Amino acid sequence: MSVLQIPFEDAFRFDPSPTFAELRENQPVARVRTLAGAEVWLVTRYDDVRMVLADPRFSRAAVVKQGAPRVALAKPMPNSLTTTDPPEHTRLRKLVTPTFAHRRIERTRPWVAELSAQLAEDVARAGDGADIRQLVALPLPIQVICQLLGVPYEDRERFREWTELGYSMKMAEKDLVEDAMTNLTAYIENLVTKKLANTDQPAEDLLDELVRAREEGDRLSQDELIAFGVNLLVAGHETSANQISSCVATLLRWPENWAKLVADPSLVPSAIEELLRFNRFSEVGQLRVAVEDVELHGVQIKAGEGVMAALNSANRDPRAYDEPDELRLDRQDNKHLSFGFGPHFCLGAQLARIELQESLLALVRRFPRMSLAKPAAELEWRRVLVSGLAELPVNLGLEGLEGLEG
């Protein structure tokens, strides 16, 4: 069996590589070599991706074992939600589930909506050529996670740089990646230490809650506490920021879609689900390590081997979707896998939905005639693990509009 290099050559752009469709049809369990030099299996069909993500024979804890295959340049962090299996994982997840529960997180919606409206005004002030990534997609989720977690917003430049490097897919940055992760961990450790020293002055944030849970005797080690902080800070802004840009860009790429939402903003929730399905999330797949031998489509996956579940490919599988390459803003019963599946299903899914819906609503209302300031094909993509645009310059189409409204 030939071994393909992943990310594929035609990665880091709008449309998924045609190699995914080819593999889904002809080689549903394919052999690929990752940037870190590991050979792993890649599954590309919807049902197989769900199976790998939910089946206990495929482990996340084994990803941090000595000699485990690696996908990215950065080493995964042990003791975190993303590197444990049940029952350890269940114990950790229970500590944060209440904060992210649907009803509780919905309470942030009015605040996120207000923030989105303010950011839309920043865009209006910047005028034509305004960069939606810098003015909305990054500041919105960063402010939200800082507030929720109890991380000072003034420190954003520093943790942004470490996150950016930590996710890098550029071989040239290999050495910087390790340093960035060390700095990020030390930064969170410092915050946790400060909070531990001030438990008599509780703050209303998640990191503080976790510190208190530890003080009150919940089984939570110092390493687990720090891993929570790093994990939530990074996962809590990077993916949302990329998806906000991708959603706006995909809509503007075919302007009739923007017009549809302007005419009927009640379409926004279903449009966001469809955009999450349609947009790419990562150039690779979610890694698991087999803990026993498994046979899949005639391929023997041996214990200890890595398996990547390609979410983007699953989301375009014609076995799961009618006309998967068509963007239908009112698509119903859309069980996309962009937030994963099984025990590691995205903890922040509802928060991300609120951020995506409210930022889009604010932009659609404020700029009904917004358009791309550059042809879609010329927009620059970042070479990082989580797919996203490096820039999103737009023209606002405000000329004459204010006069009409007045």
Binding site for ligand HEM (CB under 6 A): 53, 81-82, 93, 231-232, 235-236, 239-240, 243, 281, 286, 311, 338-340, 344, 346-348, 351-352
Strand pairing category for 393-395 and 299-301: unpaired
User: Taking the complex as a whole, how short is the minimal distance between the CB of residue 256 and ligand HEM, in angstroms?
Assistant: 24
Distance CA 47, CA 220 (A): 35
Assess whether 178 carries a catalytic annotation. Answer: no
Assess whether 146 carries a catalytic annotation. Answer: no
Q: Given the complex with ligand HEM, which of 166 and 340 has the nearer CB atom?
A: 340
Sequence-separated (6 or more) residues with CB below 8 Å from residue 341: 49, 50, 53, 54
Angle between helix axes 222-235 and 156-166 (nearest 10 degrees) is 90
Distances (CA, A) of 85 to 56, 117, 230, 234, 349: 8, 40, 19, 20, 20
Active-site position among 273, 274, 355, 358: 355
User: Taking the complex as a whole, how short is the minimal distance between the CB of residue 243 and ligand HEM, in angstroms?
Assistant: 4
Distance CA 249, CA 244 (A): 9
Distance CA 61, CA 46 (A): 23
Q: Is 91 exposed, middle or buried (0-12, 13-18, 19+ CB in 10 A)?
A: middle
Q: How many CB atoms lie within 10 A of CB 134?
A: 16
User: Taking the complex as a whole, how short is the minimal distance between the CB of residue 261 and ligand HEM, in angstroms?
Assistant: 18
Distance CA 262, CA 365 (A): 7
User: Taking the complex as a whole, how short is the minimal distance between the CB of residue 25 and ligand HEM, in angstroms?
Assistant: 24
User: Taking the complex as a whole, how short is the minimal distance between the CB of residue 206 and ligand HEM, in angstroms?
Assistant: 9
Q: Given the complex with ligand HEM, which of 17 and 245 has the nearer CB atom?
A: 245
Assess whether 116 carries a catalytic annotation. Answer: no
Q: Given the complex with ligand HEM, which of 33 and 93 has the nearer CB atom?
A: 93
Active-site position among 21, 38, 346, 376: 346
Assess whether 224 carries a catalytic annotation. Answer: no
Q: Given the complex with ligand HEM, which of 137 and 396 has the nearer CB atom?
A: 137
Distance CA 245, CA 243 (A): 5
Angle between helix axes 238-253 and 222-235 (nearest 10 degrees) is 10
Shortest CA distance to 177 belongs to which of 405, 391, 388, 384? 384
Q: Given the complex with ligand HEM, which of 19 and 243 has the nearer CB atom?
A: 243
* DSSP notation for 8-62: -TT-SSSSPPHHHHHHHHH-SEEEEE-TTS-EEEEE-SHHHHHHHHH-TTEESGG
Active-site position among 238, 274, 283, 305: 238
Assess whether 113 carries a catalytic annotation. Answer: no
User: Taking the complex as a whole, how short is the minimal distance between the CB of residue 160 and ligand HEM, in angstroms?
Assistant: 15
Q: Given the complex with ligand HEM, which of 113 and 176 has the nearer CB atom?
A: 113
Q: Return the active site residues.
A: 235, 238, 240, 346, 355
